[in-house]
Amino acid sequence: MSATITAPPQPAVARHARRDGARVRRRRVLVWIATHALAIALALMFLAPVVFIALTALMTDEQALTSELWPQTWNWDNFAVVFEKSRLLRWAGNTLMYAALGTLFTVVSSVPVAYALARFRFRGRRLAFLVVITAMMLPPQVVAVPIYLVWARLGLTDSLWPLILPLLLGDAFSIFLLRQFLVTIPRDYTDAAKVDGCSDVKTLVRVVLPMARPAIAAVALFQFFYCWNDYYGPLLYAGVEQEDLTLSLGLATFKAFHSVQWNLTMAATLLVTAPVIIVFFLAQRVFIEGVTLTGVKG
């Protein structure tokens, strides 16, 4: 007498399949967490202050002075109060002008110098590169007094022009970063362009610059972030009028006037730092690619 094998009911098979699939997904998640445990811990460490600032910015004045971490009520009006009690838009305009012109002047002036140091063979090339490295390591406080006296005699103090105009002569760190990248570009490309009759300027514009876009983007982002967050320079030259301040200097002034209103201070801090965070996340791929490629030896 032969026994008949009956297949399990279809709902039971589907239930077992779902259970096995959930088990596999859970195992993959645990493996991923174990593999990236250090990165996750560092990410949480860096995100914790941002989360704390955001939560405090939404509290009331009374709760911000307590040890509570979660807002009892979500006070979105704190951001509007910041605009009412400060000249944030004016400060943002000054900072944007400083950052945009400073970035443009830095890129335009640093690229030719870096190209000359990377490609041309001339007497004193190593000495010039050593001067660039020395200038990069020189603290700005060392030459602050004589440079301030020069700009005072020219009548350009109480403005941001003493911080913007020197960037027309290049930036040591930008020149160094661009030079390190341009060295990695094979000479075959530039030699082929010269064989076709291109001048040095045309070779730079049509051949080198398209290949150096990641490095140029990295330099531009570095300079933009530096100008946006610069506090020492505007403190020396921007003056004392509220209309002439930048965001970093204006934020310090706002904190001094509202020292016990931590919710407003945190709201202003979040508004000041948000544009930089957004720009970085939008351009992080190009930024990381440019920084990575500048460390590759040709």
Each of the 298 residues of the chain gets a pLDDT tens digit; together they read 445 555 555 566 566 667 766 777 888 888 888 888 888 888 888 888 888 888 988 888 888 778 888 888 888 888 998 898 888 899 999 999 999 999 999 999 999 999 988 888 888 888 988 888 888 888 888 888 889 999 999 888 888 899 999 999 888 899 998 988 888 888 888 888 888 888 888 888 888 888 888 888 889 988 998 999 999 989 888 877 778 889 998 888 888 887 778 888 899 989 998 888 888 788 777 666 655 655 444 4
Amino acid at 163: L
Residue 97 pLDDT: 93
Integer angstrom CA distances of residue 47 from 42, 50, 53, 207: 9, 5, 10, 41
pLDDT number for residue 297: 44
Measured over all CA atoms, what is the biggest interatomic distance in the chain, rounded to whole angstroms? Answer: 114
Chain-centre distance for alpha carbon 282: 10
Backbone angles phi, psi at 78, to 5 degrees: -60, -35
What's residue 110's pLDDT?
92
Q: Can you give the pLDDT at residue 296?
A: 46
Q: Is 275 exposed, middle or buried (0-12, 13-18, 19+ CB in 10 A)?
A: middle
Tokens 């200097």 label which residue? Answer: 249
- List Cβ neighbours of 140 (8 Å cut-off, separation of 6 or more): 232, 233
Query: pTM to 2 decimals?
Result: 0.79
